[in-house]
Amino acid sequence: MSLPFFPQPKTRPRVLDKADRAKAIVTTDQAESLKAKKRAAGRCELFVVGEGRYPRKDVHTHHLQSGRGRRAHGTSALAEHKLRVCVRCHTELHQHLLVPEGAVQDQAFRRVK
């Protein structure tokens, strides 16, 4: 006597699950970047001690938390860990000419001479 055949559904491929997770990360990062852009109101958000805020237009989003391949993941993707900055300030941040003054969340930086 043979047992009846009951077809079993196939499991979802891991590749599709991984693609869905990647899409969710990108979607979250984009939504948080929009929040940061709205907060900046079109102006560079960087506050330089002794100079104040620049009246230039914000063009770039600078991640305050970084790490090799970790931007846009976890708390780095949140709007409070992003700054909308002009091209000049973004360049100076990456060249380490502007460094955080106190806690990074205060968004106050000082110029290194």
Q: Read off the pTM.
A: 0.73
pLDDT means per 10 residues, the chain with 113 residues, are 80 94 89 93 89 89 73 76 91 89 71 78
- In angstroms, the Cα distances linking 44 to 2, 33, 75 are 75, 14, 22
Look at residue 76 in the predicted model and tell me its pLDDT: 77
Look at residue 86 in the predicted model and tell me its pLDDT: 93
Candidates 69, 71, 111; CA nearest to 89 is 111
Look at residue 57 in the predicted model and tell me its pLDDT: 94
| Domain positions in the chain | 14-111
The set of residues, in sequence order, having a beta carbon less than 8 Å from that of 33 and lying 6+ positions away, is: 61, 79, 82
Q: Report d(CA 58, CA 90) in Å as an integer.
A: 10
3-state secondary structure of 73: coil
Look at residue 87 in the predicted model and tell me its pLDDT: 94
Look at residue 105 in the predicted model and tell me its pLDDT: 55
